[in-house]
Amino acid sequence: MKKKNALALTLVAAGSGVAAMALSMASILPGWAYAAVLVLAFPLFVLGLGLYWMAREGEEDIPFLGY
Amino acid sequence: MIAELLFAVFFGLLLLGIHRKVIARIQRRPGPPVWQEILHMLKFSFKTTWIPKTASAALFVGVVLVAIGIWSAALFVVISGGSLLVIFAIYMLHKIVEHGFGLSSGSPYGKFGGVRSVISAASEIPLLVSVAAIAIFTHSLLISDIVSYQEVHGPLLITIPLAAIAMYVVLISKMPFGPFSIVESKELVSGYKTEHFGVWRAGLEVCNGLKTYVLLLTFILVFIGSLPFWLTLLTMLILVITLSFVCALSPMLSPYDSVTVQTLLAGLMLVYVGVLGVMS
């Protein structure tokens, strides 16, 4: 994944979580919906952040398949 | 909720680090620092990452997302006092996720880890039995109702100690380096997660932190009741230290023995719940 795509993924995921928190605090979004947004956004944020930090584009590896 | 989620990840990883430290000290080794698992997560997130050619790319990445997602959901269910059955369902789903981890990479080590994860599903039976024992007394499986019941009648740990032991066995089966850790045993390199490196492994570490925190919090809420926050954390720490002693002082069982022991325990628990059901 390209770095700029990873950054976009991270920002969208983080933005969704923060927006859900703000809407929940304003009593616009119910608690269960806020939790649901976090359940979807948090994994994307974790992977997006890691990919943005260090992802490289290159040849894939072939794992050891046995003798 | 964001704060709780981040706290759960880091505190869960800290507990896993303490687990490693205690095991090392019992074995007269210095051991890693207690924050080693947090460093692991950060280290993996900075490593070069790609998807092996032999992997099913969608499954390879998807299981990491699902693993973090389901334990995030489990955390919200526990802190909102939701149903214990949902936690049980997520625990079972985690088995499927482990299986997906193993099969997605195309590596034989991963596959064996995934297969072992499925055969170690025997560890779920004691969990189901402890859920049944709780239902007999509280007439509800909502964690909030179970906590309220204990405020009136005292901790379930005293009322149904064998059910608590069954849940404790489930905790042992989920701790690294334990007697039932057959999915990650060293003859399989790292078992189902062998080929998940870099960011994917960092995601798995996040999942492990969440899982540890959620399972310990569930045990405390269901068998001890609602405690002040600091006391909850202290109880988690004590629980982890006891688990570390069990893990350090017991050998890792072979897959056959592991399943046999867990099935025997489940059988004993079924008899116990049968007796409880007749007596109540």
For residue B70, name the pLDDT band (cuts at 50, 70, 90): very high
What is the chain A residue with the closest CA to B196? Answer: A63
Measured between CB atoms, which of A39, A47, A49 is closest to B73? A39
Q: What is the pLDDT of residue A16?
A: 92
Residues of A in contact with B47 (CB under 8 A): 54
Count of Cβ atoms closer than 10 Å to residue B264 Cβ = 11
Question: Are B199 and A42 in contact (CB < 8 Å)?
Answer: no
Find tokens 């981040």 and name the residue: B6
Q: What is the pLDDT of residue A64?
A: 57
Measured between CB atoms, which of B2, B45, B203 is closest to A54? B45
- B32, B41, B51, B43: which is closest to B208 by C-alpha? B41
Would you call B121 exposed, middle or buried from its count of C-beta atoms within 10 A (0-12, 13-18, 19+)?
A: middle
User: CB–CB of B206/B11 below 8 Å?
Assistant: no
Residues of A in contact with B83 (CB under 8 A): none
What is the chain A residue with the closest CA to B106? Answer: A63
Is residue B275 pLDDT above 70, yes or no? yes
Residues of B in contact with A31 (CB under 8 A): 80
pLDDT digits (tens, 9 = 90+) for B5-17: 999 999 999 999 9
Is residue A65 pLDDT above 60, yes or no? no
Question: Are A54 and B47 in contact (CB < 8 Å)?
Answer: yes
Q: What is the pLDDT of residue B213?
A: 95
Task: Give the residues across from B142 on adjacent strands.
Answer: B83
Residue percentage of chain B with pLDDT more than 90: 29
Question: Are A21 and B1 in contact (CB < 8 Å)?
Answer: yes
Q: What is the pLDDT of residue B122?
A: 66
User: A8 CA to chain B: closest CA distance, Å?
Assistant: 17
Would you call A2 exposed, middle or buried from its count of C-beta atoms within 10 A (0-12, 13-18, 19+)?
A: exposed
B5 at interface of A, judged by CB pairs closer than 8 A: yes
User: B8 CA to chain A: closest CA distance, Å?
Assistant: 13
Q: DSSP characters for B81-150? A: T-BHHHHHHHHHHHHHHHHHHHHHS--HHHHHHHHHHHHGGGGHHHHHHHHHHHHHHHS--BHHHHHHHH
pTM attached to this predicted model = 0.88
Which of A5, A39, A40 is the best residue to mutate to test the B interface, defined by the most B CB atoms within 10 Å of its own CB? A39
Question: Are A43 and B46 in contact (CB < 8 Å)?
Answer: no
Q: Which of residues 28-57 of B touch A (CB under 8 A)?
A: 44-54
Among the listed ranges A20-34, B6-20, B104-118, B249-263, which one has the minimum average pLDDT value? B104-118
- B167, B174, B264: which is closest to B219 by C-alpha? B167
Residues of B in contact with A44 (CB under 8 A): 65
For residue B71, name the pLDDT band (cuts at 50, 70, 90): very high
